[in-house]
Each structure stands twice: as structure tokens, then as C-alpha cells.
A and B are shown apart, each in its own frame.
Chain A
Amino acid sequence: MSKNYDVIVVGAGHAGCEAAYAAAKLGCRTLLLTINLSTIALMPCNPAIGGPAAKSHLVREIDALGGLMGRIIDNSFLNIRLLNESRGPAVRALRAQADKVLYQSLMTQALESAPNLDVRQGIVTEILVEDGAVQGVKTKHGVEFTAPAVILATGTFLRGVLVVGQLRYPGGRAGEPGVNELSENLESLGIELSRFQSATPPRLHADSVDYEKLTEQPGSPVPLRFSFDSDHDDRPQIPCWYTRTTPKTIEVIRDNLHHSPIQSGSVVGEGPRFCPSIDRKVMRFPDKLDHQVFLEPEGRYTKELYCLGLTTAMPEYVQEEIVRSIPGLEHAKIMRPGYAVEYDYIPPSQMTLSLESRVVSGLFTAGQINGTSGYEEAAAQGIIAGINAAHKVLGKEPVILRRSEAYIGVLVDDLVTKGTTEPYRMMTSRAEYRLLLRVDNADLRLRPLGYKLGLVGEEQFARFNDKRRLINETINWLNVTRVNPTAEVRAKLQELGSGDLKKSVSLADLLQRPELSFADLKFFADCPELPGEVIEQVEISVKYAGYVERQLRQVAEFQRLEDVKIPDNIDYMKIHGLRTEARERLTAVRPVNLGQAARISGVSPADISVLAVVLKDVDKYVSA
């Protein structure tokens, strides 16, 4: 069997899966190595995809580019809901509860049947490097695999330590070993590592919960899907359940704070602020007397319930007391205790915007190793690292998405340019141009690129083109079709609770009225029958045209700084006007343009003014 590949992916979590699939799809002979073939695409924490607003945007973007996550969750969810419906099209979000075992099975199947892709069990302990360039990897069993590009997607496994109460022991995840050798190897290559931590709540037995005391949270009655390619089905949905903590919960936690690893210091490294443990919530917000708890099924064929809101690494007996202080959980049985994991990550400003290391050529990274948190964030980096590793091997230009083009672009730029001081999660507030980066138009933004790259198939693209054509034709029709202020029309408008009509207007003008929807237009013209996704696009395009145009102008403005290129050999140490911190940060990040430079933390607007002046006379400041 050949041990020579074009691309090797280390780790088969959500980043590794997308990376391997993309690289193989682009024609590279690809090897995916994982510690355990049975844990491909495992969801070790919350068994859900989407949720807080921008995560579903990421999934849709991955899907538009031709990635797997959207299709697989569509075929494996237990329930799905639409969030933020009333808060506007830009921030609408999907949240799907996954059957986590089914999700794994479907992902494993997709990878195992992908052409050009070998999936294999093995613990990578060393990156083989010659003259600063990747040559391949070596496993714990001493097997060497060669490739000019390697993608590290090792999650929490690098020097992983599990923590419960005062107990600390090595491990990458509960029941799985960590890997120390690879961390040492990376450090010896000159890559700097740092520590983060994360934690997960206990899982309960479904039959030990008193549902009478819980509130049911059913799935959406309207069919919803992540992927632009999925068909709707009417599979029965399994609900989640909702309860709240009590004053007793807070008392238990306060009495046991000395056992909290965060409080006692038995866990080191920054944890995510958006995903605090229940102990931390009680400490930081002492005035808040109760906290939400969601109970979520982990699969159709398991009794395990995920306990969202009760993340903790307290000793097991304290976890039990916390759980039992909550209405409906008085007799609940813990099946898996919560715990914290502490791990190495590579501060991501050591990477370029194509997610390649600045230190070792051909070494790419994706997922938690880059300091992020979340399956969706990992998968998004995975597809980008996969594409760029393949392009490196194929001698093609790297693919770098702009901040105005995709949340994936915001994600990668934030990581590389700003770095992160806590596990990074995507939020819509991180994007400057939220109205452009909507969950509904991810295909319009990225599918043409996915097709051009070769990740989106002919049939998928033809379907996309039909949709795009239909949208454009309909908008055109709305603009040219007139409505006259006849008595009949005016009466109908009044009936619909809309303002009077004085003169002839276009259908588009009517649709711009906030109180009217596309469906209402049938009273004024012969509306064509259209698919729901086309109507959605048309409504948003017409209703919010003014706002969208404004953001497009801002993008053009923003682009002006992005267009001021900074030569790669500029010597920041020669520019005395920069403050020392700015000089160091700029030297570390090496921004490619002035816009990126402006986003680096530690670089002030005054520094940017200095750079702007200097760049007009840049020849003086480049190193020979």
C-alpha cells in the first residue's frame, strides 16, 4: 500500500472531516488519520448544530462552498428550530438537535466512500520537516506517511488534561488518550503553544427525569433545513425540555466553591466567556437567582440527555447535588459526569490568512488547535484549510474569503489578525456587514466560488442557477408591474392594514411597505407560483434594498484600506513613528494590507496614520 499522499489530515473531528473531504474532492490523494476510527465527527459536548446566531451562518456557508456539515445534520437531526425570527433576516438562525451517533455514522460513510480519500487509524506523534517545509508525518507505531501538505486538526488532544474537582489526569476527551509527543515536536519546530480550557455538563438518564415538571420545547412545525441541497421530509421530531435552577442550586454551588476547579486553580488556561460553567455563572452574577437549563436528547437510540446550562467540573457528588436541586431532576441519574479539558493550542497569529504556518511551509491548522470553540467554527476552518492545502500542492493561489463576503472570512481574519484570548466563537456582532452576510443568501454569496473550485457539482450548480434566475426575473417583474389606485385596490389595502394609495406604483413599491408580504401581492397582480426560498430572497431584496445598498457603500469604503497593499519585506523596526508594541505586533502578524493592519490589536489609529504616510514612500523601509 502506498504511503505517499498529497495531503494528510491529522484528526477526524469537524475540522478534519471537512478538510479531508475538500482536499480529496479537489483531486488530491488524501489521508485522514485519527486516533480512533469510531469517534469520527464526534460531538463530545452539546449535541447540536447551529444555535447562537452566527453558527448557522457558518454551516450554510460551508454548505454553499460544497462542504458536508449541512447535508449531514439535515439527515440526522432529532429536531430543528428557527431562532431570532422576529429580529430580522440578517440574524435569523437555525438550531438542530443532532442524533449524534447517526451524525457520526453518516459522516463516516461520506468519508469512507469519497474518492481519493483514505481513512485510517493512527496516532501522529511527529511532523516530518526538511528545510522548513513539511514532508509528512510519523505515527506512534513508527509508520511514516509522506505528503507536501499536512493539516493539523487535533482538537483538544495536544497535551490534553482532564479535570474533575481536584483530580487531573492526561486525556484528550473522556475515555480517550491525549498526545504529548506532537506538542513537543511542534515546539521543537519553533511553533509557540499556549493553553485553553473547555468544559462540558453531565448527561442524565432520560427515564430518571420527571417530565411533568419540565416545559416542552418542540421542534418547528414548518420544515427547515440547513443545506441548500437537502430535501424536506416529515420525520417525527423529538423535543427538548426546559427547566430552571433554584436558590437551592446556588446554595449547593456556593457551599462547594472550594471544589470548583476554576476557583481552586486546578484548571489553567482561559475558558470561553460565552460558555461559562454553572459555578462561574453563580460567582460572576451573584444577583441572578436562577439560570436556564435545557435537557436535550443525544440520539434516537440512547437514553442520554445532555444538560445544557449545567457545565461543571465539580467533583461528581457535587454534580449530583446540583442536578437534584433542579425541578424535574430531583431523582435524576447521572450517566456521564461533567468535566473540564485543558489543552495546547497554537496562537493563530502564527498562521497566514490561508491557515498555513508562517514557520513551517505546508503545515496547515484548523479547529480548536487554532484557539476556536464550536463544531461549526472548526468545520469552517477545515474546509478552508483543505482547499488551501490542496491548492498549495496543485500550485494554485490560496483562497481567502473577504470579511464582506462570508463569516468564514471574518473568522479567519479575526484569528490571524487579532489572535484570541479565549476560545473563539463566531457571533454576528463580529461582522461589520451583517446585512450582506445573511443565512438566507449564503448560496448567492459562495456557491459560484464552490463551483469554480470544484467542490460543488454540476447538478447542484444547475439547481442554484435556476434559483438565481428565478429570483432576478421575479424582482424585475415586481419593478415593472404597476398597480393603479382603483377603488378595489384601495379597499384591499385598507383591509390589509396598509396605507392608502394615491398614485400608480410598482409592485416592488408596495412590497417595500413593512406590513405587506409577497403573498399579499396576489390581490393586486397575477403572481407566479414560486418556491419558498425564492420568495424569501425576493422579499428580503426588495424590502431591505436601501439598507443593503448602504452596507455595500460601506464595503466600498472599507475596501479602500484593504487595497493599500503592504510589501512583504517591509521592516517595521525601521519605522520610528510606530510605537514599540505596534512594531512588534505588525512584525508578528505581517498584514498584507492596511485594512488588516488596522484590525491588529495593539495597533492604534495613530500607528495606521504613520503607516499610511510611510507607505507612500515605502522603498526607504523595506529590508534588502
Chain B
Amino acid sequence: MTEQTIAAIATAVGEAGIGIVRLSGKEAFDIAEKMFVTKRGDSPKSLPGYSARYGRVVDPYQGRTIDEAILLVMRGPYSYTGEDVVEFQCHGGVVVVQKILETALRLGARMAEPGEFTKRAFLNGRLDLSQAEAVIDVVRSRTEESLAVAVDQLEGSLSKRISAIREQLYDLVVRVEAIIDYPEDDIPELEVDEMAEVIRTVIGELERLIATADQGKVLREGLKAVITGKPNVGKSSLLNRLLDEQRALVTDIPGTTRDTIEEVLNLRGIPLRLIDTAGIRESDDVVERLGVERAVQLWGEADLIIHVMDGSVPLSSEDREILARTRDKLRVVVINKSDLPRVWSLDDLDARDLGEAPVVEMSLLEGELTPLVDAVVGLVSKGGIRESTASQAIVTRARHKTALEEAKADLENALETLSMGLPLDLISVGLQGALEHLGEITGETVRENIIDRIFAQFCIGK
């Protein structure tokens, strides 16, 4: 197969001290030959795999040096993608890195699609599916904690956990199947209570794993947060203050719709995807810009809502309505402009609308941001998100969560079948279904295993 050579900037734009441009494909070496001059004077094309050279990246069209850099050479199939790979490691800076990439593109490389290096690694057999998924997680990790979880997954703590759960189920299934397939052999009967207990235990363990899935999602994708409030209460100030505080980690990612963009920031290890409704900074009125329906939809999608109110002007029906409509959400309430006289108190709000949301009174113009950050982190931590991340299996992939939920549903079915006094062949449907769903995560086949285990455990045959 002939795949075009691809190129991309491998480091985040503007963040790092060095910038890396990576090329992968048949022509990677030819391109390197044309745009890199080694200090030693040897030819990049002739370098053995896994070697490095110091030298200059040049623009062959203008004959000018772009930057001093290190050239790293990996030869297929012994490279990450399984193809010929070269990397230019330069001094970083948006302009220089962009310039190197453009030069590679002009020399015949094609801009890589998102994830294409990993896709090639997968297609060339360098990574299996679950590893490829984990690598994507590692690359996309936005904070150290989410990185730790992704690395953990790469090492297989989730599959270890699931294997342990499957083991209990296997013991049960193998007995059921041996009884069914060998009616004339002496295989001890299974008691209903005994089966029910095993099934309940496994359901409990699955539930605990599933509960980690929401934390996993937060760590992998970031907590989706929306700032609400009526016009001129200080939403844009809050946004800018948060962004200022986190300047180094901010990147712009296009939002899911045209009218929003996401700002990603790291609040003490919790990745926050702040949905910037594009116009906040200009008109400051989400509802006016987007319409009530869209605003309500945005609130619905959010994991966290930061509601900003102005303590210096009377409460409006809008404030009450927003609070009422977001009752079931994780919320922090900010009462802004504490530098001005307060004209209303918390008692003026409907206690049910306020619920248990922490309230932070502050001045976004001059006050410290710390109490607000504390409140957000405290709220998220209360859900158990932070403590549980260290060295515990956490479900981060939607695919895994679905498989776990389906396994649980199957077992609940089996339990119900059992309690109705229905026969083994029907009970086994749920049991085997659960095993298969768990196998989807670890990539094991079920049927042959059951049969092998029957023969290993029981003296069958006459």
C-alpha cells in the first residue's frame, strides 16, 4: 500500500519550550534531505534508524535558514507509526514551527488529519485497539490527573479489574453449562440462593465501576462549564479573570456549534471546558444573542454552571428564573460587586431554587479569585472526583461504560429470571450476555473459554 507522507506539529502551539514537527511516510527521508543540513555534513537520508543530528532547517526555495534544530530519524517498521519517520526539534515559537511545517508541505508532505499518526500505527500493527485508544487519551490529556488515568489504562488496571469480576461470573457460568450439557454426569446442582448471591455481588462491583465512568469522563474530556447571568453582572469579567489566571494553559478549541467556542483551563488539576458563548465578551447577554431555547439547551448540556448575580442592584425575575431552571445542576453562585452596597440578601431567594449551591460573594473587579476556585474545586471534589483518581481503575471511555451497563442489565435480567423460578437455559442467557459484554472491553472470546473450563473443572464423560 502506498500512503502519502503526512506532517504535523507534534507539540501544542505556543506552549512548550521546544517545537516538534513530525513527518511519517515513504518520502519522509527525501523531504528531510531537502530541508535539513547537518552540522557534520552527512546526509539525513543515509542516517541509521534511531539516530539524531544537530544542524539547520532550511527553506530550499529561498535558501534561508529557518532555525537551528535537532533531526531525529526512525526507520520503518521500527517506528511509532511503522513507517519512516523524521522529527525536527526546534526552538519552538509559533512562527518558526509553522514555517518548518509549511516547508515540509511544499516539499510534498500532506497535512496530517487529527489522530492520523496513531491511526497509521494501528493499521501497521504497532498498536492494538485499546492501546491506540489509550494513546489518544494520553495525547489529549489536559491535566496531570487525567494523564495519570490514561497511563493507568494503558497499563491495564481496568482490564485487571474486569478480569477479576469476570472470573466470578465464569465460575458460575461454567457450572451452569456443565450441568446443562452433561445431564448424566455427577455435577452438583446449583442452589438458587447461591446463584443469586454471586450475581448480586457482581452487579455491585459493576455498579462501582460504572460510577467511576462519570469521573473518567470529566478527567478525559474536562468538566463542561457554563457561565450564566443577566446582562452586565460581570460574566465577561469572570471569564477573563479565569483565563488570565490560567493563561499558560489556554487553547482555543472550536465549539460544537458555530455560536460557541470552548476555553480549556486547568483549575488545580480539574480540566474545565468553559463554554464561551462567543458573544459573552461583546454583548454579554447570552439569552439575547442565542434565544431562550438555546440558552436552556446549553445549561442542560453543562456539567457545571457558574451563575453570576449583581448584589448592588435589586433581584430581577430573570435571576430567579435562571436559578429555578438550573436547580438540578452542579452550580456555584457568585454574587458580584461586593465593593458596592448590597441591596438584597440570600433570604430573598427561594431556598429551593438555591438548593445547596455554594455562594461566593466577591468583587470580580478587584477581589481575590481564590474563594471562587475553592468553591468550584470543592464542589467537584465532593463528587469524589479528585481523591479516587490515584491508582484505581476508572472507566474513561463511553464504549467501556456502555459495555459495563449492558453487562449489568444482563445480570439483572438473570436475577429476575432466577427469582421467577424459570429454568437454567433462560438464566444462562443473561449470564453469558454479561460475560460477552465484559469481554468486549478486554477483547476476550467467551465460548471457547467456557468449554475449556468445563473440562478442566469437572470429571465429565463416560
> With A428-B180, A429-B454, A576-B125 in contact, do A87 and B447 touch (Cβ < 8 Å)?
no
> With A292-B462, A577-B124, A601-B448 in contact, do A88 and B425 touch (Cβ < 8 Å)?
yes
Binary contact track B171-208/A, C-beta < 8 Å → 1, others 0:
00000010111111110000000000000000000000
18 more A-B residue pairs beyond the given contacts A547-B426, A606-B130, with a C-beta to C-beta distance below 8 A: A83-B183, A89-B425, A90-B426, A274-B461, A281-B459, A281-B461, A292-B462, A309-B462, A427-B181, A429-B451, A430-B447, A544-B426, A574-B1, A576-B77, A604-B128, A606-B443, A610-B123, A610-B125
Say if the beta carbon of B19 comes within 8 Å of chain A: no
Tell me which residues from 413 to 438 in chain A have a Cβ below 8 Å from any Cβ of chain B.
418, 427-430, 432, 434-435
Q: Which residues of B contact A89 (CB under 8 A)?
A: 423, 425
Q: Which residues of A contact B164 (CB under 8 A)?
A: none
> With A576-B125, A604-B443 in contact, do A86 and B462 touch (Cβ < 8 Å)?
no
Q: Which residues of A contact B44 (CB under 8 A)?
A: none
Say if the beta carbon of A550 comes within 8 Å of chain B: yes
Chain B, residue nearest A244 (CB) = B186
Contact of B462 among A54, A273, A275, A428 (CB under 8 A): A275
Complex contact B184–A83 (CB within 8 A): yes
State in angstroms the CA–CA spacing of A403 and B149 once bound together.
Answer: 40
Chain A, residue nearest B186 (CB) = A292
Say if the beta carbon of B450 comes within 8 Å of chain A: yes
Q: Which residues of B contact A52 (CB under 8 A)?
A: 181-184
Say if the beta carbon of B122 comes within 8 Å of chain A: yes
Complex contact A605–B129 (CB within 8 A): yes
Q: Which residues of B contact A547 (CB under 8 A)?
A: 417, 426, 429
Complex contact A435–B425 (CB within 8 A): yes
Q: Which candidate, A283-291, A319-327, A335-343, is the interface stretch facing chain B?
A: A283-291
Contact of B451 among A430, A574, A579, A606 (CB under 8 A): A430
Chain B, residue nearest A290 (CB) = B186
Tell me which residues from 443 to 462 in chain B have a Cβ below 8 Å from any Cβ of chain A.
443, 447-448, 450-451, 454-455, 459-462
State in angstroms the CA–CA spacing of A515 and B420 once bound together.
Answer: 9
Complex contact B123–A577 (CB within 8 A): yes
Interface residues of A (CB under 8 A from B): 51-54, 83-84, 86-91, 93, 95, 272-276, 281, 284-285, 288, 291-294, 308-309, 311, 418, 427-430, 432, 434-435, 514-515, 544, 547, 550-551, 554, 574, 576-579, 601, 604-606, 609-610, 613-614, 620-621
Q: Which residues of A contact B130 (CB under 8 A)?
A: 606
Binary contact track B85-112/A, C-beta < 8 Å → 1, others 0:
0000000000000000000000000000
Chain B, residue nearest A278 (CB) = B462
Chain A, residue nearest B182 (CB) = A52
Complex contact B424–A285 (CB within 8 A): no
Chain A, residue nearest B183 (CB) = A83
Say if the beta carbon of B229 comes within 8 Å of chain A: no
Complex contact B459–A285 (CB within 8 A): yes
Say if the beta carbon of B421 comes within 8 Å of chain A: yes
Q: Which residues of A contact B443 (CB under 8 A)?
A: 604-606
Contact of A577 among B122, B426, B461 (CB under 8 A): B122
Say if the beta carbon of B141 comes within 8 Å of chain A: no
Q: A524 to nearest B CB, angstroms?
A: 21
Complex contact A620–B1 (CB within 8 A): yes
Complex contact A88–B424 (CB within 8 A): yes
Q: B85 to nearest A CB, angstroms?
A: 15
Q: B156 to nearest A CB, angstroms?
A: 14
